[in-house]
Amino acid sequence: MGFVGDTLGHHASLRGGETALACGDACLSWRELLENSRRLEEALGNLTGSRARIGLSPRQPFEAICLVLAVARSGRVAVVADPNQTGFPAADLSAALSFRFWSLAELDDAAALPGVHRREIDVADAEAHSPTASDPFYVGLTSGSTGRPKAFQRSHGSWLRSFAACEAAFGLTCDDRIAVPGSLSHSLHLFGALHALHLGARLDLFPRFQPRSILDTLRSARSTVLYATPTQLDLLVRSARAQGVRLPDVRRVLLSGAKWHGVGGDAADVFCGARFHEFYGTSETSFISTRSAGDPPTSVGRPFDGVCLDIRDDAGRSLPAGETGLIHVSSDMTFDGYVYGEDPDTLRDGKWLSVGDWGYVDATGALHLRGRRSRMLVCAGVNVFAEEIEAVLLNADNVGACAVFGRPDPLRGQRIVAALRPENTASPLLPDALRRHCLAHLDPIKVPRAFYMLDDWPLTAGGKPDLVALSRRVAELEDGA
């Protein structure tokens, strides 16, 4: 099957002088990327053990992707983590996972930096290292209901099979030009970046998420594929509309990380030549399902080829179509397991894996998400999914973003409240109008008791709403009310 990064020599031999990787002012051709990777592999071989974990900061994405590629090709394991974003001190993190952080500067004694003292390399040379498909190559961090980071491990084979599933579902080829405007600390963006290089497609990364700069690159590079979260897409579309920018070269917009509620509208106008593909998956499962035109808009689509679903009740019994239960997934793309921390919502049962998401499969085979177990609220004895309320609020006039939380209540157990950001800040959101909108679509018990309007909307490094920061802000507003 090979390993992540094993196609680099092939691409260098076919299109050596063409751009492989660009980020800001930095740029590498395919031949330069191969030369750079081989020097870094040599340095890693001189400085670290054969299966060592190598800590990498994603703050400089150009350096990070070069290092991840070299680490993977050398048979080592890349731990991609920004301690400032996880809230986990760097010393504690490295001690817990038995690794140390490395940078390109530290490897300079054993390997030249990109663009410095390059030597010619015969791209037909046999690879010095050959990891197997079952070997681990990547450890990422994610946080669950506890807010504490968990470290999940992925093998070469699980991502190679995920690459193949992505190509089959979305028709990506080596002729694409793929843009990934998000932090590589988020597995969605790291996956998109490594897949582009594996595929032989030009990859554009970005030093930071600045919509105007990203739009300029999408236009100048004539990008054909965009990986983004719904929040990132919303910010790009807003900026494009403000500038009068349209991007007809983009043919695929791949969305994940949250439910997308913006089908058609402004996004379709800005990305006027694109098909939008929303896919559902997690760091632990890889791809689960994808929604395309014709699928129910409230669904997350149908399973990828090779993915099986089983919806189960609390007793572990399989449920029929239309009944809500815990989603279990079986595929050959799932993770190895956690190498640090645990998540009580993550369950394995033989070949089946659940990460605590609840939903149902309808009569047509489409999967519908209800919410995450860790975000389930209990109000007056009724189980309520925060995501269900958020979906309703996002369809209200002038709501640009929202997040729903439960606050302690001596009578109900939890009191449902909502934080919102208006689409148009010049037009205020009115609580009475929001309440009426919710009552028209939700049971009264699910209608938020309070609405808090926020001008700023914190995001995680992966481009998702920062629920921890938003919850803290809501608590401050509640306590100060």
For the segment 431-474, what is each residue's pLDDT rounded down to a tens digit? 999 999 999 999 999 999 999 999 889 888 777 888 889 999 99
pLDDT over 80 at 192, yes or no = yes
pTM for the structure as a whole:
0.84
Round to whole Å and give the CA distance between 144 and 147. 6
DSSP string, 117-179: S-----TTSPPS----TTSEEEEEEEE-TTSSEEEEEEEHHHHHHHHHHHHHHH---TT-EEE
Angle (nearest 5°) at CA 416 between 411 and 419: 145
Mean pLDDT for the chain overall: 89
The stretch 98-109 carries a mean pLDDT of: 78
The stretch 244-248 carries a mean pLDDT of: 97
Note the pLDDT tens digit of each residue in 232-243. 999 999 999 999
pLDDT over 60 at 144, yes or no = no
Ordered by where they begin, the domains of the chain are 8-208 (3.40.50.12780), 284-373 (2.30.38.10), 380-480 (3.30.300.30)
Residue type, 154: R
Residues 6+ apart with CB under 8 A from 465: 231, 258, 401, 403, 457, 458, 459
pLDDT over 80 at 66, yes or no = yes
Per-residue pLDDT band at 411 (split at 50, 70, 90): confident
Pick the closest to residue 466 from 183, 91, 236, 254 (CA basis): 183
Note the pLDDT tens digit of each residue in 6-22. 999 999 999 999 999 99
Q: Strand 252-255 and strand 352-354: pairing? A: unpaired
Helices 30-47 and 8-15 pack at an angle, to 10 degrees, of 150
Instruction: Answer with the residue of higher pLDDT: 112 or 228.
Output: 228
Instruction: List the structure tokens of 215.
Output: 């739009």
Q: Are 195 and 221 in contact (CB under 8 A)?
A: no
The pLDDT of residue 412:
83
Q: What is the CA radius of gyration of the chain?
A: 23
The stretch 344-358 carries a mean pLDDT of: 93
DSSP string, 198-226: HHT-EEEE-SS--HHHHHHHHHHTT--EE
Cβ neighbours of 14 (radius 10 Å): 12
Pick the closest to residue 372 from 464, 438, 247 (CA basis): 464
The pLDDT of residue 263:
62
Note the pLDDT tens digit of each residue in 311-334. 999 899 999 999 999 999 999 999
Torsion of CA 220, 223, 227, 231, to 10 degrees: 40
DSSP label at 465? Answer: B
